[in-house]
Amino acid sequence: MGKPNKRTGEGGNMKHGASRILFEYWDEIRAERPAPDRGDIQPSAIKSVLGDTFILELAQQNNFRFRLAGTRLCSLFCRELKGRSFLDGWDEKDQQAVTAMLSAITQDGAAAVISFTGTTEMGQSVDLELLLLPIRVQGEGCTRILGCMAPLKRPFWLGVQAISKQKVNSLRLIWPDEDAPLFSDENDCVPHFGTPTHRAVSSMEPRVSRGTHLQRSAVPKAVEIPNSRQVGHLRVVDGGKI
């Protein structure tokens, strides 16, 4: 199997090994369905990434709360996340963008990758990758979201100083039933705690993405970008393969 092609552009791929492993598992158990059922998920099958994994519950409209959260994830925020709102810590503009992504996941069956920077009260910062995947609940639809969150590098203070603010760098919707490369090449991958970089890449040919790519726009307002539109402080580029 050939090595997946590399996407160009910030946020256009999954860089972290944890994201790749979880996406591969989710894609396998969903088979030909838009999303797997909650009962299909077997924690033992993803034990290497459980510490970075979480499940969100749509309690009511636009109210997404952590139903479960792994230990490594909780250590990033130096607190137990269960019951906490997923939108805490984002500023108002980013909350709107993230809420739009969450709605696309629960209503349309999209998946999403978000690149963001977490900052502590002491001003320390770290770049992280966030993966969000729809999960069906019998009789309710996609009211759960399976996800993982992991730092691209692990600074010495991580787990000691709590991340208190999150700032979106880029967001991308993924439509898993359309063919396009999803992952970075092996040289760009951040391994997952010693997991070989090629683990998810070599064992899966991803079926991705009609993508909607949202990223902070540095383009002057006077410049027209084909197939794009402004959503708040983000520019949405509707595209196919990159």
What pLDDT score does 174 carry? 87
What pLDDT score does 190 carry? 59
- Tens of pLDDT along 128-139? 999 999 999 988
Q: What are phi and psi of 72, to 5 degrees?
A: -65, -35
Q: How far apart are CA 72 and CA 98, in angstroms?
A: 22
What pLDDT score does 15 carry? 87
| Pure H helices in 87-159 | 92-108
- Tens of pLDDT along 143-171? 999 999 999 999 999 999 999 999 999 99
Distances in whole angstroms, Cα of residue 217 to Cα of each of 10, 73, 221, 234: 11, 29, 9, 6
**SS3 call for 44:** helix
Q: Categorise residue 157: left if φ over 0, alpha if ψ from -120 to 50, beta otherwise.
A: alpha
| Run of H or E including 201 | helix 199-202
Q: How far apart are CA 162 and CA 62, in angstroms?
A: 25
Kindly list the strands in the beta sheet with 111-120, ordered across the sheet, starting from the edge strand earlier in the chain: 63-69, 53-60, 141-151, 125-137, 111-120, 163-174, 212-216, 234-238, 228-231
Q: Which two tokens stand for residue 227?
A: 């197939």
Residues in the chain with pLDDT values less than 70: 1-12, 177-242
- Asked whether the whole model's pTM tops 0.75, one would answer no
